[in-house]
Each structure stands twice: as structure tokens, then as C-alpha cells.
Amino acid sequence: MEIIDRKENPLLNRVEIEFRWNHEGSATPSRAEMLNGLASIEPGSNRDLIVIKDVNTRFGMGSTTGVGLVYADEESMKVEPEYIHKRFSELRTANAAPAEEEAPAEEEAPAEEEAEDGGEA
């Protein structure tokens, strides 16, 4: 994977990377492979905060281009449409599955019993 262009977008709190992947003689790389490639290229990036868009493989050539958006935090990532979150959710839930196994917090607050006053009310 090679970086064609890299722009920092402080307004949206992300880094926009235009990339080219040469895969001569092999299949088009999967989204998971592209996520791993971008995570290894961009220092300090979190694989769960990367979105890949505009992937284009040229017919008859072993070259794929695309745009990777590396967000700084989950709050910044909310600008992406819901279908993008659904598209990448299967790639992210595989990593987040152990964290989601936490037992639900079902704590019931004990009902406070009203103190019985023997005095005047």
C-alpha cells in the first residue's frame, strides 16, 4: 500500500489518506486487509476508528485506489452516515466481542423505608 496524498482535517478531527494498493496477480484486497494496511501506515491510529471509502479497482489491472479516513476519537466519527457504521460494524465487533460480554448492571436501589415517627406529624 502506498500513500498518494495525506491531509489533516482539524475541523472534522481526522486524517484523510488517499492510497493505492498494487496487487498484481492476486485478488482485490478485502476491507479488513485495507483497514490493517492503513492502521499500519498511520502512526497512532486505532483500527476501529478508520473508515474506507471510494474504493476503485481498475479493470484488467492489479491496482486499487481509495480513501481512508482515520478519526481521532469515536465522537468525531459520528459525522459518518449510519450505513457506513453498519458496513464496518462486522469488522469491528470481531475485535470488540470480548469487551461486550460484560454482565449487565442490574442493580436495584433498595427501597427506602419511611421512618416511622412515634411523634407528631
**Which contiguous run of DSSP H or E holds residue 4?**
strand 2-9
Residue 119, pLDDT score = 55
Q: Which of 52-61, 62-71, 108-117 has the lowest mean pLDDT?
A: 108-117
Average pLDDT, integer, range 81-85: 84
Q: Which of 27-31, 36-40, 99-103, 107-111 has the lowest mean pLDDT?
A: 99-103
- Residue 40 in this model has a pLDDT that exceeds 80: yes
Instruction: Specify the residue for cell string 497512532.
Output: 44
Give the chain's mean pLDDT. Answer: 77
**How far, CA to CA in Å, does 33 sit from each of 18, 29, 55?**
16, 6, 13
CATH classification number, 2-95, choose in 3.90.700.10, 3.30.70.330, 1.20.210.10, 3.30.460.80: 3.30.70.330
Domain parsing of the chain, residue ranges: 2-95
User: Considering the entire predicted model, what is its pTM?
Assistant: 0.66
Residue 118, pLDDT score = 54
Beta bridge partners of 116: none
Residue 67, pLDDT score = 92
Q: Which of 78-82, 89-93, 98-102, 111-115 has the lowest mean pLDDT?
A: 98-102
In angstroms, the CA 91 to CA 59 distance is 26
In angstroms, the CA 30 to CA 53 distance is 13
- Residue 55 in this model has a pLDDT that exceeds 80: yes
Report pLDDT digits (tens) over 6-21: 999 999 889 999 999 8
Structural contact between residues 1 and 21, judged by C-beta atoms closer than 8 angstroms: yes
